[in-house]
Amino acid sequence: MLRVAVCVSGGGTNLQAIIDAVSCGEIKDTKIVGVFSNNPGAYALKRAEEAGIDNCAISPKDFSSREEFNRAFLDKLDEWDPDLVVLAGFLVIIPKEMISRYRGRMINIHPSLIPSFCGTGYYGLKVHEEALKKGVKVTGATVHFVDEGTDTGRIIAQKAVEVQDGDTPEILQKRVMEQAEWVLLPRVINDIACGNIKLG
């Protein structure tokens, strides 16, 4: 049984895709052991709650130093003892200690075809705004391992999505989510659970 912890900051539609895929058996042999958020108001926490998944919000604002927050964050993840940590729209810089502890066992989803439109500052609508500005005809999503850089870890899987005439950043974001992110992330987790993708 693959033990998965998911880290989220916002709406949690990717989390929902994972929850649904586990419950319908599309992701096999997997248990979501916990959902962590830095944002107590994240709708993703409600999704976890509704699915009966252990969840926890710890805000950096509640700590006098970043180190203390990092410690609380790491302790919480360790408590769940996950085999795999999934960053699904998690807007927190991952502490170095956590990266080395979970090296090869932590993955992230990014809403572009890396190495395009990624790195510092490329999150949310900005990614799709820049893709449209550049005039690319194809974009997509990437699942990759997490290392010390921003969106620099080894690529695991990618899925392409067409850009269409008249797209706005919002329309493109929605298409990338529907056609790529919500499909790709559950597929990768299942491949890990089934041993088709090796961790470590």
Residues 26, 11: Cα–Cα separation, whole Å: 22
Cis check for the bond before 186: say yes or no (omega within 30 of 0).
Answer: no
- Provide φ and ψ at 150, rounded to 5°: -100, 110
For the CB of residue 14, give the shortest distance to ligand GRF in the complex, in Å: 3
Contact call for residue 11 and ligand GRF (CB under 6 A): yes
Contact call for residue 169 and ligand GRF (CB under 6 A): no
Task: Pick from 34, 89, 140, 186 the residue near ligand GRF by CB under 6 A.
Answer: 89
Assess whether 144 carries a catalytic annotation.
Answer: no
Contact call for residue 140 and ligand GRF (CB under 6 A): no
Max Cα separation, the chain? 49
Contact call for residue 142 and ligand GRF (CB under 6 A): no
Residues 44, 49: Cα–Cα separation, whole Å: 9
Q: Which stretch binds ligand GRF (CB under 6 A): 5-13, 51-59, 60-68, 159-167?
A: 5-13
Contact call for residue 109 and ligand GRF (CB under 6 A): yes
- Provide φ and ψ at 62, rounded to 5°: -85, 5
Task: Pick from 4, 5, 7, 13 the residue near ligand GRF by CB under 6 A.
Answer: 13
For the CB of residue 195, give the shortest distance to ligand GRF in the complex, in Å: 25
3-state SS assignment for residue 27: coil
Residues 120, 151: Cα–Cα separation, whole Å: 8
Give the residues lining the site for ligand GRF (CB under 6 A). Answer: 8, 10-15, 44, 88-89, 109-111, 181
